[in-house]
Chain A
């Protein structure tokens, strides 16, 4: 279209049918585009909702256990033990001497026949033991105790299990009851899904996080202060900044390789320990703390520094007496977010051997330990169907902790962060 024809063109007839059609088309495209945006949001949010619903739906059952009632005639089977035997420091030893396990097994056999013990979880007697320790007076009478059933039955009762277990469940239907699975909160890893718990992994996570925090927080804050307040503009500073930005983007598994090659093989630190795990995660978390710390330090207005300098404070006093306290809420927010990420991290810890079967909770930083996400990974690999709900239950616990940490970060930000 050249300029000659353009000048001769008649004014557009906006009311004409053709133009109206075009405008309608454009408006329709507008609506379609807007709907697409809305659909994208809805789809993303529904993925999240679906994920949470699946996990909570599966995991909810992991906190419960199926139980069958067993009548135990304590005076008869214990030969008239008195409640005082099960109080005080010797209580557990006395239970051992009494042979509680056999007592429980024989009571089960009386009620459910010679094959009856197959119905119950191998750790069922510990439930009786806990009951006696909590209330020793029950040994003076006949009492009925609800004991956890074997994993196959548990799965069959809650959901759908193998045919034999389903048959057994329908045979015994009406006698089952559901109780809260306290073992899940107090036990560690086990081979029997009815006996597993997250306490060991939780404690491992806690110790690892403490090591991470003790290392990453001071180093991260000091580095942030240096880079933001004192660093001269030179090549070294540039190099530090590039390194920190790169470290923040390095895949986490690479940190695991570093931990394996340097901490385990070069320095010979104990394998699988919380110390190495914490060190590795600290290297990962440190850049996050530095970056958020720098932003927090940057947001403190220069007038504060100038006022402090003006009344005679040294550059170091300016920072440690005035800038750091004001930036601390922001730094803490960033630290909590970094720690939340470290808490959910799995891959680097697999590299440094924190994937062993750990049946006792760690008691120090060099003991073999595992952490919550690794425990989830290990259980997800188990063939036994009883582990499915336990895995999801552990995921719920992990997500709960992440939620708490993030909520804390948001609270800190809203409560203490000053908008200058």
Chain B
């Protein structure tokens, strides 16, 4: 019996339990709805009470069992006569056992090692044996707990209160998943990064200027993991070129839409601009690689820059800037709208023109909000992957020439992880180290941005 069928069976039995629990409670109620023996909770809650008793203990048992049983299965398989031939070396032994386990559970068809083949039968027997034990125990639990709960049903059983307590727990668990995910991200990145730093010195990684993981040879003393060129490329594309495009366009769009545009124009134009943020990044990447990059290279060659690359930083950065426009514009929109109208009215009443009011009153007052928005946009831009993977190059250059090719952190993460390396090589681990740097930087940018925006909001409240 596979895990899925067992689970469905248990859930089915739970429904049966619900039915009987509800039936019993309803029978008690029909005796006298308005008499003293009226139920504390509605029959439905009694039904759920029995169902939860039937399902939950068995489900918890199965979860524990699925973690514990592999060790038991291996022990059982090792007591078989075939296990006597296994090599003493722990590493070779583990390899054979895992292969045999894979074949026995149907994940693999043929063994590379004849010894594994001999272990398949004992394994299969052990798996079947322990699966049977697990299934029987789980079903017994369903019956035992279900009957226990069913016997407990009495008019004054506080079934609703108990159900609500369980539901509240489920709600809390659902919210805790966010923390678990955050911790999971952090731990998995830190763990792999620590392994990387045991092979490559953190100083070399953070401050080295040569990035060339392909050339890395020996298991010790690796060089070519200097990430400075990647950091520069990321900043150059995401924080400089993209922002040069996005800040003026986004800010001016927001100003025009909030201060000048008629309501009807605004209600049409705002969603249209927001479409720019909804286009998938892979589409932007393709657009940048297919249309923008060749056009920019031809332009560069025509103005006399002979070494212009077809994977220029400018193409990736400019397209990324276009993608970021709605972020900048909506943040600017919010912070301009939050400036008290008395300030604006005062300035206009003094005879300032609208543009003077905007430039000298609104923008300075809204500046913290705008800066916060720009920081969020930067954090978004440096974490953006597909545009740079498709349009920026792989050459780790340290150059400020927008027509030449630079590479970014995200490009290299994709590059390092999409090959066929084994998981322990410094190349794959380097991707996690880059990921950790990216995670920390975006986290800091977000925290600073949120703090700036919050402080500024408070100033006008």
Contact = CB atoms under 8 A, between A and B. Distances in A.
Interface of A: 26-27, 29-30, 32-34, 36-41, 43-45, 47-48, 51, 54-55, 58, 218-220, 222-223, 225-227, 230-231, 239-240, 243-247, 249-255, 257-258, 260-262, 265-266, 283, 286-287, 290, 314-316, 340-341, 343-347, 350-351, 355, 373-374, 376-377, 380, 388, 391-392, 395, 398-399, 402, 406
Nearest to B410: A253
Contacts of A32: 355
Nearest to B249: A40
Contact of B442 (A219, A230, A250, A399): A250
B290 A388 contact: yes
B133 to A, nearest CB: 23
B383 interface: yes
Given A250-B439, A398-B280, 13 more contacts: A26-B353, A41-B256, A44-B325, A240-B176, A240-B178, A249-B376, A261-B191, A344-B282, A373-B280, A376-B283, A377-B386, A380-B390, A388-B290
Interface residues of B, number: 84
B278 A340 contact: yes
A47 B322 contact: yes
Given A44-B276, A223-B171, A388-B290, A243 B354 contact: no
Contact of B432 (A251, A261, A376, A399): A261
Contacts of A30: 353-356
A173 B159 CA distance: 82
Nearest to A29: B355
B174 A219 contact: yes
Interface in B391-437: 410, 413-414, 417-418, 423, 431-432, 435
A223 B174 contact: yes
Contacts, number: 242
A48 B272 contact: yes
B184 A262 contact: yes
Nearest to A284: B181
Contacts of B336: none
Given A37-B252, A223-B174, A51 B185 contact: no
Contacts of A286: 177-178, 181
Nearest to A45: B272
B269 A41 contact: yes
B385 A347 contact: yes
10 contacts: A34-B354, A40-B248, A41-B257, A222-B174, A223-B177, A251-B439, A254-B435, A286-B177, A315-B164, A377-B285
Given A41-B269, A377-B390, A344 B168 contact: no
Nearest to A229: B171
Given A247-B181, A253-B414, A395 B283 contact: yes
A258 B276 contact: no
B71 to A, nearest CB: 15
B276 A226 contact: no
A29 B282 contact: no
Contacts of A250: 185, 383, 439, 442-443
B235 interface: no
A374 B283 CA distance: 11
Interface in B442-460: 442-443, 446, 450
Contacts of B207: none
B418 A251 contact: no
Contacts of A247: 178, 181-182
Contacts of B322: 44, 47
B160 interface: yes
Most chain-B Cβ atoms within 10 A of its Cβ — which of A39, A246, A345?
A: A246
A22 to B, nearest CB: 12
* Consensus secondary structure, chain A interface: helix
B414 A350 contact: yes
B188 interface: yes
Interface in B353-389: 353-356, 358-359, 376, 379-380, 382-386, 389
Which 3 residue pairs across A and B have the least CB separation, nearest first? A251-B383, A37-B256, A344-B280
Contact of A399 (B279, B289, B353): B279
B177 A40 contact: no
Given A240-B175, A251-B383, A258 B353 contact: no
A377 B282 contact: yes
Interface in B261-298: 261, 269, 272-273, 275-276, 278-287, 289-291
Contact of A34 (B253, B256, B385): B256
Contact of A37 (B168, B189, B255, B291): B255
B107 to A, nearest CB: 8
B192 interface: yes
B167 interface: yes
Contact of B414 (A227, A246, A347): A347
A220 B385 CA distance: 26
B170 interface: yes
Interface string B180-199: 01101100110110000000
Nearest to B160: A314
A220 B423 CA distance: 33
Contact of B379 (A43, A44, A249): A249
A55 B170 CA distance: 46
Contacts of A43: 249
Contacts of B203: none
Contact of A230 (B171, B248, B380, B413): B171
Contacts of A227: 175
B301 to A, nearest CB: 21
B438 interface: yes
A222 B413 contact: no
Contacts of A27: 353
B300 to A, nearest CB: 20
Contacts of A51: 279, 283-284, 287
Contacts of A44: 249-250, 253, 273, 276, 322, 325
B258 to A, nearest CB: 10
A208 to B, nearest CB: 14
A373 B282 contact: yes
Most chain-B Cβ atoms within 10 A of its Cβ — which of A26, A55, A253, A351?
A: A253
B188 A47 contact: no
A188 B40 CA distance: 59
Nearest to B441: A251
Contact of B450 (A245, A254, A350, A395): A245
Contacts of A391: 286
A260 B428 CA distance: 11
Contacts of B280: 343-346, 373, 398-399, 402
B383 A254 contact: yes
Nearest to B259: A37
